[in-house]
Amino acid sequence: MITVESPARPNEPTGATPLVPGADKPSAISRAVQILGSGGLVSFPTETVYGLGADAQNDNALARVFSVKGRPADHPLIVHVAAPAMLEGYARDIPEAAWRLAECFWPGPLTLILKREKGVSDLVTGGQDAVGLRVPSHPLAQSLLAAFGRGIAAPSANRFGRVSPTRAAHVIQEFGDRIDYVLDGGACTVGLESTIVDLSGQRPRLLRPGAITPAALAGVLGELPQPTTASGPRVPGTLASHYAPRTPLRLVDGSRLERTIEQHSGTARSIAVMAMRDCRRNRPYLSWKTMPPTHEEYGRVLFACMREIDEEGHDCLVIERPPLTPEWEAIHDRLTRAANGES
């Protein structure tokens, strides 16, 4: 049976009422710890997206994560830990750059790929010699990790290839009672999955763009991380089609928005639009979402908008490409994958 608990007032999407560490209802955290300890699956909020958590040392629980998600076994999981000092239990030969990044960006939306310690489960690493580690900043994630005392392996709490969940209700839509517990921490404040930097090789590599930008990383590393190459470790977030809504999607430049809507209006009964401005002009067959103008706010609501559009049920979704400046990189990455090259 799935149970949802809100240990404290949920965050509002704006993050205007942040959860205060220590204000959580302790019984929800202890229940979650108990379930994790006995091999159960607990979904918990992070500042990026909701995770589907399992004890990183329990192979049965880890196997359940893969089966519930429908995720191929060779796609590794991120281990979430309470504090940077815990890296040493999971990684070896930790480069100095890792400590510097941890100091600047943890707790926060950054995942580091490091050489694995011997004891780390092959289910976590997908059989690779590297492990992904992250210290999330969401107060509920922090409380859970502190109370659990060891690593929680957690992919995003969505079925493989689908849009990541940014609210507890999304997790329930995805899994229903196939998981054991959901900690409700309200809407995630970042809304896009963490930036992933691989420090297990000669040079730092960016495996997935996120809220921590290449420029911010370069400020600490002294060099820009290398872009991902096809031969690197398997990362589902780098598949051409990922994060996809069910509604057929067209991603177009602002200059082609009206023409694309016109093209579809002949055959489609209803068209959803996610645009940077409001030009719906009394067309009842359009369901129009005017998207926020800043990349932070846009990232926060992007996945929730896609889910809402799927729920409403439209014949197609037309998305206007947001500005092409560097701070929008992670959003372009997710939009392009969602559109799967159909732009």
* Residues in touch with ligand TXA (CB under 6 A): 46, 48-49, 51, 75-78, 111, 113, 125, 128, 130-132, 134, 136, 154-156, 193-194, 196, 207, 233-237
How many Å separate Cα 241 from the centre of its chain?
15
DSSP element (H, E) containing 275: strand 271-275
Query: Hey, is 243 helix, strand or coil?
Result: coil
Nearest to 124, CA basis, from 57, 175, 71: 57
Q: Which is nearer to Mg ion, 156 or 166 (CB)?
A: 156
Pick one of ligand TXA, Mg ion, none as the site partner of residue 77 (Cβ within 5 to 8 A by kind): ligand TXA
Query: 214-221 and 96-105 are packed helices; what angle lies between their axes, rounded to 10 degrees?
Result: 130
For Mg ion, which stretch binds (CB under 5 A), given 15-23, 29-37, 142-150, 154-162? 154-162
- For Mg ion, the closer of residues 3 and 128 by Cβ is 128
Q: Are 255 and 340 in contact (CB under 8 A)?
A: no
Task: Give the nearer residue to ligand TXA in terms of CB position, either 151 or 318.
Answer: 151
Q: d(Cα 219, Cα 224) in Å, to the nearest integer?
A: 8
Name the residue type at position 325: T
Q: Is the dihedral of CA 229, 232, 236, 237 positive or negative?
A: negative
Residue 163 binds: one of ligand TXA, Mg ion, none (C-beta under 5 to 8 A by kind): none
CA distance 246 to 12: 26
Cα dist from 289 to 40, 74, 246, whole Å: 38, 37, 17
Work out how close the CB of 267 gets to Mg ion at its nearest, in angstroms, rounded to a whole number: 33
Specify whether the CB–CB gap between 28 and 183 falls below 8 A: yes
Min. distance of Cβ 18 from ligand TXA in angstroms? 18
Cβ-based nearer residue to ligand TXA, 160 or 288 = 160
- Of these partners, ligand TXA, Mg ion, none, which one is at the site of residue 107 (CB under 5 to 8 Å by kind)? none
Buried b / exposed e over 313-333, threshold 16 CB at 10 Å, is ebebbbbbbbeeeeebbbbbb
Question: Which of the listed partners (Mg ion, ligand TXA, none) does 245 bind, with a CB threshold of 5 to 8 Å by partner kind?
Answer: none
Of 58 and 156, which CB lies nearer to Mg ion in the complex structure? Answer: 156
Return the number of the residue (289 or 332) whose C-beta is nearest Mg ion.
332
Shortest distance, position 194 Cβ to ligand TXA, whole Å: 3
Q: Minimum distance from CB of 234 to ligand TXA (Å)?
A: 6
**Are residues 139 and 24 in contact, defined by beta-carbon separation less than 8 angstroms?**
yes
Structure tokens at 62: 């880890």
131's contact among ligand TXA, Mg ion, none, with CB below 5 to 8 A by partner kind, is ligand TXA
138 binds, among ligand TXA, Mg ion, none (CB under 5 to 8 A by kind): none
Q: What is the Cα–Cα distance from 297 to 342, expressed in whole angstroms?
A: 25
Minimum gap (Å) between residue 164 Cβ and Mg ion: 5
Beta carbon of residue 181, minimum distance to ligand TXA (angstroms, whole number): 15
Residue 332's binding partner among ligand TXA, Mg ion, none (Cβ under 5 to 8 angstroms by kind) is: none
Nearest to 198 by CA among 129, 141, 135, 138: 129
174/193 with CB nearer ligand TXA: 193
By C-beta, is 271 or 330 nearer to ligand TXA? 330
Q: CB of residue 249 vs ligand TXA: minimum separation in angstroms? A: 20
**How does strand 42-44 pair with strand 51-55?**
antiparallel
Among 48, 143, 156, 189, binds Mg ion (CB under 5 A): 156
- Site for Mg ion, rule CB under 5 A: 156
